[in-house]
Structure 1
Amino acid sequence: MKVGVAGLGVMGRAMARNLSADGLLAGVWNRTRATADALGNELDVPVAEDATALADACDVVITCVRADADVLEVVAALAAGVSPGDVVIDTSTIGVDAAGEAAAMLEAKGATFLDAPVTGGPEGAEAGTLQIMVGGDPAVLERVRPALQAIGSDATHFGPVGSGQRAKAVNQVMVAGIVQAISESLSFAEASGLDTERLLPVLTGGAAGSRLLERRGSRILAGDFEPGFRVSLHHKDLNLCRDLLQKLDVNLPLVEMTIKHYERLLDQGYGDEDTSALFRLKRELFESGNRKSL
């Protein structure tokens, strides 16, 4: 199996390194050539001139880019280079309709598309422990499972193309709730004058414990919002969740509230900070003269 990676941001680079460690990586490509060249030199793998050339050199391509338009642009280029039987695995978080469009482009060339968004963040990508939510042909999933095992601890099939994105939407709603709860609770603790260094281990070890609290709690209290998972990306994802919810004729208050709060952070120039920057807004609630709901 010859695997290529298209899209070498924080997540894509980590995936490529893990594929290389398993002897599966056959090439990389990125729209910013310097990024691809640096990783190609590090891993001693070929750097494709474009996405079409990457598809021509590999039988499996993993894509990891930002949004619907990016995925469709990359898949269109890959479609020009795929051969019948090739597989494109998209790990981006995009809309269900965009996943369907990507699948149709590749099916016209005899190739297969799996929508396979991931959760676990940069730490999980680096450790190769991502959880992967897959939509598409289950037989194809089994055929490419060795590539997914290199980047994640598990790849779970949820149904036809688009099902992976639906599962990721559920994940992103839950993440919103966790970020909201941690931001409000730590603001409350700080304003109450508690020794937060003593409190954090108690919280992480009890019923309120979570991976986000364990990894980010002390950094939040220190005002360190280095991403992580950027506000702008979770804002984009929650708008995708809103689209799916509207098709069910439902509005979830948690989704609407978090989108609103993220828009405030975006307006204040904090879109590239970690989602835990929501603490900035929650802390304001406890400041003298500003005790009102967000």
Structure 2
Amino acid sequence: MDIGFIGIGSMGAAMVPNLVKAGHSVSVWNRNVEAAKALEGVTVLTSPAAAFEHDAVITMLSDDAAIRSVIMDSGVLASARKDCVHILMATISPAIVEELQNLHRKASMAYISAPVLGVPAVAAKGELNILAAGDADAIAKVQPLFDVLGQKTWHLGDDPKRANVAKIAANLMITLAIESMGEATALTESYGLKASDFLDIVTNTLFASPSYKRYGGNIASNSYEPGFKLTLGLKDVNLAIDAAKAKHAVLPAAEIVRETMNQAIDQGLGSKDWSALAKVTRHRAGLAEGVA
């Protein structure tokens, strides 16, 4: 398949090589052109509009503002191929997804929301979980791409917003897991049981899941080198809270996590992995390790 790819951050850079290896023709546009040039086996595009001259376009931009600037305000959809399928795999708000649906409808082209669960290392192995929602025929057309990028595609119906809400809710659950591990280890360490010993138990029994293991390991070793940046995690928590407010719902625990993440950013941890919010949680509980 002939693919346009927009946005080469850490996730995009991990995904594109798998598409190339699978024999797809991939053309890439990125605001930082050097990041696009660093990828092997791709054609570097000079504009995002050129990406929409292909069979399918995968967009992996960082947030609502980037989507609005590159896709919506630029007018690229007006000149797009009508048989092109646009797959937007970024974590964005349901509100902007609704705007995107309307714009694609006016342009008479297919739009699919397909955010992913997984970090760049998982993407590099082609083991993402893909949350797909949109027109069933369009999804079927691009399913071969999903089969290359992920270990499973979760079909969530014909409303694209469902996929984005699922991704936002999943990321919110990760932040709550990190908060809970921070509090729980503050408790155990106050009684002399090391965080590493306690987390070894729970991440291999009650909470034996990839997220608990990955971020529990960071907490146990007090090492928070960048993986998924805390500032991006805060963006996703804000998306969850805003999406809830749009439906007159309240997320009390999300508000607590947002406060903790804001404190972590104020203390210089914004560029660390989002599990660094546990440092603030543990410090707030009275542990002597403090924050770095």
Q: Same fold (TM over 0.5)?
A: yes
CA shift in 2, pair 1:240/1:218, >3 Å: closer
Written as runs of structure 1 = structure 2, the 5 A alignment for 1:78-227 is 78-159=76-157, 160-227=159-226
CA 1:25/1:184 → structure 2, altered by over 3 Å: closer, same or farther?
A: farther
Corresponding residue for residue 50 of structure 1: 47
Distance apart, 1:13 and its partner CA: 0.7
Rounded to whole Å, the distance in 2 between the matches of 1:163 and 1:79 is 23
Partner of 2:65: 69
SS of residue matched to 1:194 = coil
Aligned 8 A contact 2:260 2:281 in 1:
no
Residue 37 of structure 1 aligns to which amino acid in structure 2?
K
The 8 Å contact of residues 185 and 194 in structure 2, kept in 1 or not, is answered as no
CA distance change for structure 1 residues 52 and 135 in 2, over 3 Å: closer, same or farther? same
Task: Give distance in 2, aligned partners of 1:196 and 1:223.
Answer: 10
When the two chains are superposed, the root-mean-square deviation of aligned CA atoms in Å is 2.0
TM-score of the pair, normalised by structure 1 = 0.90
Tell me, yes or no, if structure 1 residue 281 matches structure 2 residue 280: yes
- Aligned positions, number: 285
Sort the Cα spacing of 1:25 and 1:255 in 2 relative to 1 into closer, same or farther, 3 A: farther
How far 1:86 moved relative to its partner? 0.3
> TM-score, normalization: structure 2?
0.90
Alignment of 1:270 with 2:263, yes or no, is: no
| In 2: Cα distance, 1:251 partner to 1:21 partner | 45
Cα distance between partner residues in 2 of 1:193 and 1:264: 27
Q: Is the 8 A contact 2:86 2:110 kept in 1?
A: yes
CA contact (8 A) 1:67 1:94 kept: yes
CA distance in 2, matches of 1:2, 1:70: 24
Cα 1:270–1:50 shift into 2, 3 Å: same
Deviation at 1:197, TM superposition (A): 4.6
Q: Is the 8 A contact 2:186 2:282 kept in 1?
A: yes
**Whole-Å Cα distance in 2 between the matches of residues 245 and 84 of structure 1?**
34
Q: Match of 2:86, SS?
A: strand
Deviations 1:236-293 (A, max 9, x none): 11111112211332212111111111111122221121111012112212336x9xxx
SS at match of 2:90: coil
Matched, 1:230 2:222: no
What code does the residue aligned with 1:231 have?
A: L
Listed as ranges, the gaps of 5+ residues in structure 2 are: none
Once the two structures are overlaid, the 10-residue window that deviates more, 163-172 or 184-193, is 184-193
